[in-house]
């Protein structure tokens, strides 16, 4: 491609300015009340989001407002890097500070499982669902995100985590489906509205947590706690997903944005 063939950035800027291209915010608000993942008590816990006021135009700082914040890397709408999982531990560029930033902007394919998830909290996306989607929308291009819409982000906090005595009951991809996306379609990553890229019961799958295992073992990425996937077309959205540049970080909260054509 020569410079003359490149899409005009000025044209994109103009389309954004007059809203022929729209920005859809795929990010939940970082809030102390938002549920974080719950692990068995013998395992290290992830800290929830905390926010503490430093000053607000008062004696602590008469002309300025700011806060201290803290949280686990995997809090709220967040990005999973390959090093998050043991299968990706030895990969080059496996931490958020080392990922090629070229990978932070990529097209997104949105597969709608909201009808199935509404009646079955343990709904699993299967290869046949992907093939049905491809029959309507064309093959999933290598290097693209696949986002699984479930409308889970519209649930109340309690129903969002959906914890029962045997763990979380939330939808996700089957082991076969995520392996198919990674190995046969060469996706850049997989995004979900739920707390994990894996289904809530994925500790029982073979392998356990197959989305984490296959994605990160292949150097691919995850996005969790996405919202507004119902506002995206099945194809044609461009996803901007750049994690914070944390030294040797395994992931981070981020502002996930999609650029979509207005219809």
- Closest separation in Å from C-beta 5 to Mn ion: 38
Nearest C-alpha neighbor of 45 from the set 8, 66, 74: 74
Nearest residue (CB) to Mn ion, 80 versus 129: 80
Per the residue annotation, which of 74, 84, 212, 216 is the catalytic one?
84
Tokens at 211, concatenated: 């989305």
Torsion of CA 214, 209, 141, 7, to 10 degrees: -100
- Closest separation in Å from C-beta 84 to Mn ion: 6
Residues 224-263 within binding reach of Mn ion (CB under 5 A): none
Q: How far apart are CA 227 and CA 199, in angstroms?
A: 17
Residue 84 annotated to the active site: yes
Alpha-carbon separation of residue 117 from 37, 104, 124, 138, 202 (angstroms)? 20, 29, 8, 24, 16
Residues 44-83 within binding reach of Mn ion (CB under 5 A): 74, 80
- Closest separation in Å from C-beta 235 to Mn ion: 26
Nearest residue (CB) to Mn ion, 147 versus 259: 147
Q: How far apart are CA 4 and CA 173, in angstroms?
A: 41
Nearest residue (CB) to Mn ion, 163 versus 260: 163
Count of residues of this chain found to bind Mn ion when the rule CB under 5 A is applied: 2
Give the residues lining the site for Mn ion (CB under 5 A): 74, 80
Return the active site residues. Answer: 84
């Amino acid at each position: 491609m020569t410079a003359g063939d490149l899409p005009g950035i000025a044209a994109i800027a103009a389309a954004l300015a007059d809203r022929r291209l729209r920005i859809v915010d795929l990010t939940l608000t970082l809030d102390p009340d938002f549920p974080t993942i719950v692990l068995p008590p013998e395992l290290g816990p992830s800290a929830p989001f905390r926010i503490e006021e430093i000053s607000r135009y008062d004696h602590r700082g008469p002309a300025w407002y700011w806060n201290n914040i803290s949280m686990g890397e995997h809090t709220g709408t967040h990005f999973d890097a390959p090093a998050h999982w043991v299968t990706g531990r030895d990969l080059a560029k496996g931490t958020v500070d080392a990922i090629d930033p070229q990978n932070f902007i990529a097209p997104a394919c949105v597969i709608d499982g909201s009808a199935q998830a509404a009646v079955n909290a343990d709904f699993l996306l299967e290869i046949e669902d992907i093939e049905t989607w491809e029959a309507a929308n064309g093959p999933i291009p290598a290097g693209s995100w696949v986002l699984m819409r479930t409308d889970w982000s519209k649930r109340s906090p309690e129903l969002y985590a959906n914890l029962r005595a045997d763990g979380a009951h939330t939808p996700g991809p089957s082991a076969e489906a995520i392996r198919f996306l990674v190995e046969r379609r060469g996706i850049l990553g997989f995004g979900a509205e739920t707390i994990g890229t894996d289904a809530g019961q994925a500790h029982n799958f073979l392998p356990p947590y197959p989305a984490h295992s296959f994605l990160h073992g292949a150097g691919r990425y995850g996005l969790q706690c996405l919202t507004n996937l119902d506002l995206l077309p099945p194809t044609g959205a461009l996803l901007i997903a750049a994690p914070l540049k944390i030294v040797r970080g395994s992931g981070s909260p981020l502002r996930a944005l999609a650029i979509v054509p207005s219809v």
